[in-house]
Structure 1
């Protein structure tokens, strides 16, 4: 069994004006595909050949982990975006956000502060800790909460290729666009 490149859950141009079709196509078709291909090349003929991507991420190290974690992170990221997304989290997630942060604006501020504080490449995550409370994590390179105790709910790709074409070096403007695309329904579906 090989790892598959998941199809995008929307057309590449449907995230305009916040992410261009060019950015989405290059990011998905080149970068995400490259990680999937690297995983498949590394697991061919090994004990990992029949493993799920989740298991490979949780149980490996080194180059295989890096490629698998990047493939998993990218697949998760695409689900965290949606055309006509944004707004405020509702339902149970909305209640947890109010309890943990006071309101969604405060969550966005804290998330952005953490994301802007990352020097270099990585990911910013909204997670649910084992006790049920929400938190914000930043991981470097291919790091992922999947290897820890917290459940990822929402993530933002902070690798330059995720935003350079549309925003150049302006990560703060990219984050503003990210919040206009945030898929709160998907995030809520990930709650424990």
Structure 2
């Protein structure tokens, strides 16, 4: 079977694809209500994003994998690579994204003292400096894509990177990922991406991010 990304064996990606039965990918349930992230992300956006956009990637991935399994030649399998990458990346990225968010009532937006805060201060100077740089780099994405805080296995540092479209992050271990596709914010923030990026820090699940960092640095 086509390998979605070399990082699938890592814990964060394993959780991202945990909702499986046989070879069928399914839409993961959110660990909070659609309106739980308001006023920072509207319930309408969350419901559409989850049930329409993410579901479309799941459907597309299942269809592409089925076609790949039935392919009669290598040529046919090669033709399916882009569909597998796009829909597989969309499924992985969104599964990680939902876990990256948490209502303020459940600790969203709160970064306690610990290994993540220490690493951010070491690699960016301060938490505020990290957020400012992340927002600047991510807002500069042309068209659709993702902004990531990733852990670099080689440098042993946290770094800010972006990926285009639904490309999964394979150069780093994903710690925090933010969807910058218009479907993630346009209904609420229109074309003002910086407002969306400023607001999302109020509902970032730093506990999950710290867990991913701990797993990456074992």
Length-normalised TM-score, structure 1: 0.89
Q: Secondary structure at the match of 1:13?
A: helix
Q: State which structure, 1 or 2, has the greater radius of gyration over its C-alpha atoms.
A: 2
Please list, as runs of the form range in 1=range in 2, the aligned pairs for 1:1-192 lying within 5 A after superposition.
1-44=23-66, 46-47=68-69, 61-84=81-104, 85-88=108-111, 90-130=113-153, 131-145=155-169, 147-148=170-171, 150-191=172-213, 192=216
User: Deviations along 1:20-76, whole A, 9 cap, x unmatched?
Assistant: 11100000000000000100111126449xxxxxxxxxxx83111111001110111
After superposition, the CA RMSD in angstroms is 1.5
Q: Secondary structure at the match of 1:137?
A: strand
Shift of 1:190: 0.7
CA distance in 2, matches of 1:134, 1:5: 30
Q: Secondary structure at the match of 1:114?
A: helix
How many residues in Structure 1 have an aligned counterpart in Structure 2? 179
CA distance in 2, matches of 1:186, 1:103: 20
Q: Secondary structure at the match of 2:31?
A: coil
Q: CA separation of 1:89/1:114 partners in 2, compared to 1, >3 Å: closer, same or farther? A: farther
Query: Any unmatched runs of 5+ in structure 1?
Result: 49-59
Length-normalised TM-score, structure 2: 0.79
Query: Any unmatched runs of 5+ in structure 2?
Result: 1-22, 71-79
